[in-house]
Amino acid sequence: MNPDRIEEAASLIWRLWRTGERVEALPAALRPGSRAEGYAIQARLAARSAAPPFGWKIAATSAAGQAHIGVEGPLAGRLLAEQVRADGAALSLATNLMRVAEPEFAFRMARPLPPRATPYTVPEVLDAVAALHLAIEVPDTRFADFARVGAAPLLADNACADLFVHGPEVWADWRNADLAAHVVQARVGGRYVREGRGANVLGDPRLALAWLANELSGLGFTLEAGQVVTTGTCAVPLEIEPGDLVEADFGAFGRVAARFTI
């Protein structure tokens, strides 16, 4: 895709987000044919935001997440600053098609990780982390049948990033904890309870964070100091509806919650 087509695709997706409309697919001339083209459109989409990105998300870090959107591996997307909400906030589902909530581990960076030729190791990436936060992601998409469009268009659609609940900082000693084994219990009002664990996030949330750092490095992007990386759902995505209160209990690490309205 040439730069004009990339810009046109980003303009179309941005308009769809603002109006709440959906399409079956992007027009053929604006459809990315590779992950690189999908990321290029995503970058131009994010450039339309009024503020620098709050951080990054990783979609499809579990088998359940991959099945949910019809892809075979993880995807990176930008968390836009205007879509971030506080712990306990009320979130509207009026234009949300996916209608799921995802309890997640989110890392806030202390220093940047710029592009480089050699991959970052997990210890290197963790050494650049300032804090661990609890989070709930509420994804959405501009595609009517998001499980069929494929990875490249979903990347162009910002990897289904939409609302993000930035929860409390974890004050417990998470660096010496086994995040893979850490259990998360999610309660959706009085309707059901679902349990997950860190191992559902690419085997360990720390591995997911390193994956993101290296994915960005390969694309020529810097993971910036102060940015937050939410690493993917610990549980099978929670089906939600207006009126639900979602509470994610991370045990000794604390809790994070969101309420959903129409």
pTM for this entry: 0.96
Residue environment code for 165-199, b if the CB has 16+ CB neighbours within 10 A, otherwise e: bbbbebeeebeebebbebebbbbbeeeeebebbbb
**pLDDT band with cut points at 50, 70 and 90 for residue 69:** confident
pLDDT in tens, 123-170: 999 999 999 999 999 999 999 999 899 999 999 999 999 999 999 999
Could you tell me which CATH number the domain at 52-261 has? 3.90.850.10
Instruction: Report yes or no: 114 and 99 within 8 Å, Cβ to Cβ.
Output: no
CA 54/CA 227 separation, integer angstroms: 6
In whole angstroms, what is the distance from residue 261 CA to residue 259 CA? 7
Report the DSSP beta bridge partners of residue 84. Answer: 164
Residue 56 has pLDDT above 80, yes or no: yes
User: CA-to-CA distance for 18 and 24, rounded, in angstroms?
Assistant: 17
**What mean pLDDT value characterizes the chain?**
96
pLDDT for 72 beyond 90: no
Q: How confident is the model at residue 63 (pLDDT cuts 50, 70, 90)?
A: confident
Query: Per residue in 55-94, is it b (16+ CB within 10 Å) or e — as a string?
Result: bbbbbbbbeebbebbebeebbbbbbbeebbbebeeebebe
The tens digit of pLDDT for each residue in 168-188 reads 999 999 999 999 999 999 999
Domain ranges of the chain: 52-261
Q: Where are the alpha helices (DSSP H) in 128-204?
A: 151-156
Percent of the chain at pLDDT exceeding 70: 100
**Res 64 pLDDT > 80:** no
* R_g of the chain computed on alpha carbons: 17
